[in-house]
Amino acid sequence: MQTAELLKSFAGKKVLVIGDLMLDHYVRGRIDRISPEAPVPVLEAQEEEYRLGGAANVALNLHALGAEVFTLGIRGADFAGERLQQLMQEQGLDTSGLVLTPRRRTTLKTRMSAVNQQLLRIDYEDVSDLDEDTATLIMSRFQAVLNSCAAVIIEDYNKGLLTKELIGRIIAASRTLGIPVAVDPKHKNFFEYAGVTIFKPNFQELQKNLGTKFETEADVFRAAEELRARLNCSYLVLTRGSKGLYIFDGKAEPRHIPTFARDVYDVSGAGDTVISVLSLAFASGADIVSAATIANHAAGVVCGKLGTATASANEILASYEENNVS
């Protein structure tokens, strides 16, 4: 399938995104002096901006490519939760899957920067496990829409939504219907995703969760393939920043897709873009190599933008042309 044809096939494809919703807050300004109160720079704030983060950013990336997205997650009864829902509505995203949890705060990440250099990040969050009643409600909503979906994406940032029990039920329900499941993991539940279709850790996550420091490329490849076999997932896609990504599927050698980023301004949200485009392409009939290639082109596009961002079909096609790939 040609790239342009594949991109057109994304339109109307329904994808269910379940995971940790976040609000990204950016404060940008300049620094001209040191505080007289303490030896710290004073940031003169000149602009601020709110963007969708985490699972909400995954949903936005899918929506930007024409997919129909059902986003399932929690938000608190606070300013950040209200702003998150407002932003989703402004972007044309369905917010019927947002479950209000009055006793939990919405995850908010505030990034302060000057001259395109991040100085500080402040996180407001509640990472305790979701209570059983809310988890039951989440699962009920999940099952209500699952049958109409072409793929499920689990975006796990370890913020408490995805408990071990809920993860197991999500995977089992999806497998029963033959619906592919793609996972963007973090540390806490790393080994709970047995039986998924696509498991996408980055290099740091792989090294940290396996408790080792890789000395050679052969060590990396061996560990990744052993993890894929341990989880019994169809594909393990390992992202490695400037080195691109590697696909492990039980074959003798991993397949390598290079990075296509021309100018790297910000890597925020690049992983969100990879998992969203990779899953959407795979659900649209692309083989895993083609799906990973288009996902890496999309990631290259967003790395050239400040903050969490999305890639349009035209930008992805332009990346293919610039890299002389058909």
Tokens of 260: 């296509």
The span from the CA of 23 to the CA of 124, in Å, is 10
Which run of H or of E encompasses 165? Answer: helix 164-176
User: Cβ(297)–Cβ(23) under 8 Å?
Assistant: no
Angstrom CA distances, 23 to 105, 170, 215, stand at 11, 24, 37
Whole-angstrom CA distances from 205 to 24, 240, 249 are 22, 10, 19
Half-sphere exposure of 287 (CA within 13 A, CB side): 7
Respond yes or no: is residue 272 known to be catalytic: yes
Q: How is residue 315 written in tokens?
A: 């930008």
Active-site residue (options: 123, 184, 272, 287): 272
Q: How far lies 30's CA from each of 44, 49, 272, 319, in Å?
A: 5, 16, 29, 33
The position carrying tokens 């999305």 is: 310
**Catalytic positions:** 272
